[in-house]
Amino acid sequence: QKEVEQDPGPLSVPEGAIVSLNCTYSNSAFQYFMWYRQYSRKGPELLMYTYSSGNKEDGRFTAQVDKSSKYISLFIRDSQPSDSATYLCAMSRGGSYIPTFGRGTSLIVHP
């Protein structure tokens, strides 16, 4: 079993839909949780960064962490075609900062 599991998709939604992207993990030592967006042939761009459990909102994006279930989510409201990209979850331990990445979910938002 991989430390971080993420469905590769693709996930196809119509413009304006609410998108839910998820990752599960097995290592209870993870404390820091991140979501990155990667457009084709580009480096990943940090979207959200959270510590421990709870919710964090930034514009159309909301990140949720449920450490009891070892489950994290990224919600995108009012999705746009420009949101079409691969979304990578990442997480790291408190004392070590090498992040472990999911394989990424490909999101397609069609007009």
Partner 1 sequence: GAVVSQHPSRVICKSGTSVKIECRSLDFQATTMFWYRQFPKQSLMLMATSNEGSKATYEQGVEKDKFLINHASLTLSTLTVTSAHPEDSSFYICSARDPDRGNTIYFGEGSWLTVV
Question: Residue 62 or 106: which CB sits closer to partner 1?
Answer: 106
Structure tokens at 73: 């989510």
Question: Residue 40 or 68: which CB sits closer to partner 1?
Answer: 40
**Which residues of this chain interact with partner 1, rule CB under 8 A?**
8, 32, 34, 36, 41-46, 49, 51, 88, 90, 97-99, 101-104, 106
The identity of residue 79, as a single letter, is: S
Helix, strand, coil percent content, the chain, rounded in steps of 5: 5, 55, 40
Burial of 26: CB neighbours in 10 Å, binned 0-12, 13-18, 19+: exposed
Compute the distance between CA of residue 44 and CA of residue 54 in angstroms, rounded to an integer. 24
CB of 6 to partner 1, least distance (A): 8
CB of 34 to partner 1, least distance (A): 7
CB of 36 to partner 1, least distance (A): 7
Question: Residue 48 or 109: which CB sits closer to partner 1?
Answer: 48
